[in-house]
Structure 1
Amino acid sequence: MRERRKLTLRARVAVLSALGVALAVVVVSLAGWWLMHGRMYDHLDRQVRAQTAEAARAATPEDALRLLHSVDELPDNWSDGDVPDDAAQLLVQVGPPPPVVVRFLDNRGDVVAATAGAAWLGPVGSSAAAVAESGTGEDLDDAGPDDETVYRVHTAPRDGGAIQVGSRVIGIEGTLDDLRVLLTWIGLAGAALAGVVGWGVARTGLRPVHRLTGAVETVAETQDLDSSIPVTGRDEIARLATAVNHLLTALAASKAAQQQLVQDAGHELRTPLTSLRTNVELLRYADAQQGSGKVLAPDDRARLLRDLGIQAEELTTLTTELVELAAENTDPEPFGPLDLADVVHGAVIRARARWPQVVFAVSATPASLTGQPGGLSRVVLNLLDNAAKWSPPGGTVRVRLSTTDGQAELTVTDEGPGISEQDRPKVFERFYRATAARSMPGSGLGLAIVAQIVRTHAGSVVVGTASGGGAELRVRLPADHAS
């Protein structure tokens, strides 16, 4: 089945503008029509009441009609087209309805005298008969054949019964019909004009959006993240363009960081791979020379194999840390409630197994917070590995966890040489290794991973000097209020 084509934004704006104006015109027209209807009938009701009061002084209906001067003041502009279809037979029998009709009723509500055209009023209603019988009150009602409104009839008490004065309303209804037609055409014209104006306004208003879209499409095609979109004005479109520029800047920074990571990783991988290749080629060469009697000494062979194991371990560590660093960016671990003390104790158990020659002294109080269990475990373990690596055999790595001012504070100190002042600002950079550390195993990523995960948890990590002269690394994380 063919998918139905959707309207463009410009067309939707034009259609919605037309519908909005049409709705407004309909509401205003209906309100105006009903207001006019009420005003005209209120005026007619006041007029017919005044006529009834004047006619009540007359002795006969004809005298009442002459008293009202109805022939002079209410000219008969009647035409056959004004008559409802259901009243055609009555028109033939009694002629057109006069402007004013007067009827006298007795005290039982029966008609005793009437002027010409009284047949148009129809039979006396029960409310009018009640006025005649009681001699009090009044009645104001519509009258005409077959439920058609031809007259507005007012009934008032008089001596011996009641008087009825009917004023013709067909002229009013004709005026209201003309007004209805006029308002309908005005509404249609207004809706059409609103559609045209809405189309123009949408075209003009969306022109900056089209320019912005074109600029974004150009960036997508060229992959040039360093380009920026021109921003003019201070309206919503300008804010959107500014936001897109900020997005391009962030993407460019992310792309540059990716490229830098690849370059740094390639540089760091090149050293162990070169060493591995050299040692492997040396072993192959030694094996190839066995036929000539040149045999590699067992101590040299054992040293080469030991170096190969160390280099393979360094390569494995570097690869693992690179994978962890990339996974932290692309597939972040979900946050959840945890006790940092449990994470610390678990990491210490693993560190003791990896560094049996170092003593780990732990002092941890419960610290509840919301975080990534795996990420925080890597933070603690990396800090412990770094401290153990620099501690001398038999040295002590002290781990202390406490909560202060709504923050969990983790401090790891060692008994090594410490970190020099010039190296402290750079120890958390990727692949950075101090001069004293270049002869030791490591990739320069451990503390960079620590800094990245701590930033993810809205925390901070700083480097200092322990009381014994070694390095001190302090991590602060926001703790839950319940802790």
Structure 2
Amino acid sequence: MLVAAAVAIAVVGVSAIAWSITKADLYQQFDARLESYAQLAAKSSTPEEALATLSSADQSQSEDGHERAGGGLTVQFLSAANVGTGTAGAKSLIPVTDLDRSVAAGTVDRVSDVRSIDGDRFRVWTAQRPGGGAVQVAQDAEEIEDTLERLGFWLTIVSMAGVLGATLAGHLIARSALRPVDDLTAAAEDVARTQELSPAIDIGARGEIGRLARAFNQMLSALSNSRAEQRRLVEDVGHELRTPLTSLRNNIELLIHAEAHPERSLPAVDRSKLLADLDFQAVELTALIGELVDLSGGERPSEPEVRIDLADVVRSAVDRTRSRWPRIQVIAEFTDAEVLAREAGLERAVLNVLDNAAKWSPKGGTVTVTMSRSAEKVRVRVEDEGPGIADGDLPHVFERFYRADAARALPGSGLGLAIVDQVLTQHGGRAEAANAPSGGARFDLFLPDPRAGIR
């Protein structure tokens, strides 16, 4: 419909302009001919003589191959007193207007207009005669009217045919162009019905439709990966929660059994150990749930990115680490470095790395924090004096729930470093783990420098 409407407007506009230009050109030629006839007729002494002269001139033009002005010539003389002195030709009388009288009186040079004479449309040209008075030459404009009518008829037919053809062509083109959209719609409906994200749409279209299909496939792939990641997270969470929950349940059942059978009551020392173990497990579960919430919420950060001084973030994390691990010495060197980041999330990442370093450091050990910047990035380095990271564990330290064999007896959920990696990735940076020359672990946090125009 849009194509048909656009073509209709264009065709009607072009046809109207063509018809108007043709009409103006025909009447201009017609008026030029009448003017030349009036000049010839003005030299004659009577209307009859003038008509004979015009007929000879008209016949001569026809023999020379020029188009004739048409039949129906009428010549009428007006005296200087504005009185008709004679008429000869197709009509017995040409109506005289005030402008015609002005021409006869010599106040106006000439007049040209269209008049109705006995129901017919005539072009009338009135001009002054050399001896005074005026001559009027009128000719039927029927031939021009017929020509314009035929032209209008054929322009209308051609325009209607063009609009009809454009409508059919537009319909076929629209069906062909929108077929990939129908395929996309069917695929989207199928995904909504089956909840199956793996099938991809065959991309056969180009241009914007092809781009839409590729974007749809990318969306399906992203949703499929998200679902797989969610499933893996649920499975990992279930596996990690099973052991502390089982231990909690066993300890609670033991306490309940002891209360139900006073003759088999637990010794005070064993009871205190059970309660302490329950408290420890509750704290571990609380920390695990909190880290799970942080990890899942961090996938869709709601905090906006702002320009902050990374040194302030690291300084705050160092202060919190010192208060949480008083048996560990934390030495820090700060360098002013502006970054584009989410302050709360970034501080949590730095704090997790510091907590990990403090956890593995021996009592009285030292955790060293340094900052540096290059042309394109800013680096925060954390080194501890612990046993370091085994070569087999290095590729996995940032994976969710991964815990080295040596870390099984230590508190933790295996999510802290995974949160670090996720936060750094969201900021366009990265986290790297290695062993320091001193033997402990070394973690490097890299963030892009906004002045380098990387992000």
Assess, with a 3 A threshold, how the Cα gap between structure 1 residues 67 and 360 changes in structure 2: closer, same or farther.
Answer: same
Rate the CA distance shift 1:234–1:213 in 2: closer, same or farther, 3 A. same
Q: How does 1:274-289 map onto structure 2 within 5 Å?
A: 274-289=246-261
- Structure 1 residue identity aligned to 2:288: L
Q: Say whether the 8 Å CA contact 1:225–1:249 is kept in structure 2.
A: yes
Give the equivalent residue in structure 2 for 1:179: 151
* Alignment correspondent of 1:42: 28
Please tell me whether the aligned partners of residues 79 and 104 of structure 2 are also in contact (alpha carbons under 8 angstroms).
Answer: no
Tell me which residue corresponds to 1:339: 309
CA distance in 2, matches of 1:312, 1:326: 21
Partner Cα separation in structure 2 for residue 324 and residue 108 of structure 1? 110
Superposition pairs of residues 39-188 of structure 1, within 5 angstroms: 39-69=25-55, 99-104=72-77, 113-116=86-89, 117=91, 119-125=93-99, 129=103, 132-133=106-107, 139=110, 141-145=112-116, 150-161=121-132, 162-188=134-160
Q: SS at 1:333's partner residue?
A: coil
Partner of 1:323: 293
1:314 alignment counterpart = 284
Q: 1:31 aligns with which of 17, 20, 42?
A: 17
Between 386-395 and 201-210, report the one with greater CA deviation: 201-210
**Larger CA deviation: 417-426 vs 329-338:** 329-338
Q: Could you tell me which of 357, 360, 377 is aligned with 2:330?
A: 360
Counterpart of 1:280 in structure 2: which amino acid? I
Aligned CA distance change for structure 1 residues 127 and 257 (closer, same or farther; 3 Å): farther
- The one-letter amino acid paired with 2:13 is V
- Deviations 1:91-131, CA, capped at 9 Å, x for gaps: xxxxxx97223344566877555435374353252797299
Distance in structure 1 (CA, Å) of the matches to 2:161 and 2:224: 53
- Report what 1:260 is aligned to: 232
Residue 446 (structure 2) aligns with = 476
Runs of 5+ unmatched residues, structure 1: 1-14, 75-96
Find 2:2's aligned residue among 9, 16, 20. 16
Q: Counterpart amino acid of 2:41?
A: A
Q: Given that residues 120 and 143 in structure 1 are in contact (C-alpha distance below 8 angstroms), is that contact kept between their aligned partners in structure 2? A: no
| Cα deviation code 1:247-300 (max 9, x no counterpart) | 2121111111000000011111112112222222333344445425xx534333
Q: Do the aligned partners of residues 406 and 105 (structure 1) sit closer, same or farther apart at CA in structure 2, a change above 3 Å counting?
A: farther
* 1:185 Cα deviation after fit: 4.8
Aligned-partner Cα distance in 2 for 1:171–1:179 = 12
| Post-superposition offset of 1:379 | 0.8
Q: Give me the whole-angstrom Cα distance separating, in 1, the residues matched to 2:105 and 2:15.
A: 38
Please identify, of 218-227 and 184-193, the stretch whose mean Cα deviation from structure 2 is larger.
184-193
Q: Is the Cα–Cα contact under 8 Å of residues 396 and 402 in structure 2 kept in the other structure?
A: yes
Trace 1:388-467 onto structure 2 (pairs within 5 A).
388-467=358-437
| Aligned partner of residue 206 in structure 1, secondary structure | helix
Q: TM-score, normalised by structure 1?
A: 0.81
**Range with greater deviation from structure 2 (276-285 or 392-401):** 276-285
Distance 1:352 1:111 in 2: 124
One-letter amino acid of the structure 2 residue matched with residue 31 of structure 1: I
CA distance in 1, matches of 2:125, 2:98: 12
Distance 2:380 2:105 in 1: 99
Q: CA deviation at 1:440?
A: 1.1
Q: Which is worse superposed, 358-367 or 63-72?
A: 63-72
Q: Summarize the Cα distance change of 1:149–1:470 in structure 2 as closer, same or farther, 3 Å threshold.
A: farther
Distance 2:256 2:114 in 1: 123
Contact 1:106–1:160 at 8 Å: present in 2 too? no
Q: How far apart are the structure 2 equivalents of 1:192 and 1:385?
A: 77
Identity %: 44
* Contact 2:318 2:351 survives alignment (8 Å): yes
Give the corresponding residue for 1:92.
none
Please give the alpha-carbon distance, in whole angstroms, between the structure 1 residues aligned to 2:416 and 2:173: 59
**Scaled by the length of structure 2, what TM-score is found?**
0.86
Unaligned runs of 5+ in 2: 61-69
Deviation (angstroms), 1:344 = 1.9
Deviation per CA, 1:222-257: give whole Å up to 9, x if none. 112122223335454444333322221211111110
Cα distance in 1 between the residues matched to 2:206 and 2:313: 50
Counterpart CA distance in 2 for 1:287 and 1:98 is 132
Letter in 2 for 1:360: V
